[in-house]
Amino acid sequence: MTTESPYNYHPIKDVLPNLSKAALDLLYKQALALSRPPQFTENPDSDIVTQEFAEEFSERLMIHHAVVPERMSKKAFEYAFESACRHAGRSAKVNVSDTVPGADIKVDNSMYSLKSEAAKNIKSNHVHVSKFRESAVIQNPSLSIAEIANAAKELVDSHVKNYSRIFMLRAFPPSNDSIKYEIIELPHELIADIANIPTGEFRATGRKTVVAELKDSKNNTALQFKLDISDGKLTIAKIQHDLCKVHGTWIVPLPQDMAVAIETDSDQNNEG
pLDDT of residue 61: 96
Q: Is the pLDDT of residue 156 over 90?
A: yes
Digit-coded pLDDT (tens) for 11-39: 888 888 888 999 888 888 888 888 888 99
Distance CA 220, CA 211 (A): 16
Distance CA 247, CA 49 (A): 6
Digit-coded pLDDT (tens) for 52-108: 999 999 999 999 999 887 899 999 999 999 999 999 999 999 998 777 888 999 999
Q: In the predicted model, what is the mean pLDDT of residues 243-265?
A: 77
Mean pLDDT of the chain: 90
Q: 10 Å Cβ neighbour count for 166?
A: 22
Domain ranges in the chain are 19-262
Digit-coded pLDDT (tens) for 213-253: 999 888 999 999 999 999 999 999 999 999 999 999 999 99
Collapse the DSSP code of 191 into the 3-class scheme (helix H, G, I; strand E, B; otherwise coil) and give the result. helix
Question: CA dist 81 to 38, 43, 75, 106, 172, Å?
Answer: 17, 17, 10, 11, 18
Distance CA 37, CA 48 (A): 20
Distance CA 239, CA 222 (A): 6
pLDDT of residue 266: 44
pLDDT of residue 267: 46
Task: Measure CA 85 to chain center.
Answer: 15
What does the buried/exposed string (b/e) look like for 69-97 if buried means 16 or more CB atoms within 10 Å of the residue's CB? bbbbbbebbbebbbbbbbbbebebeebee
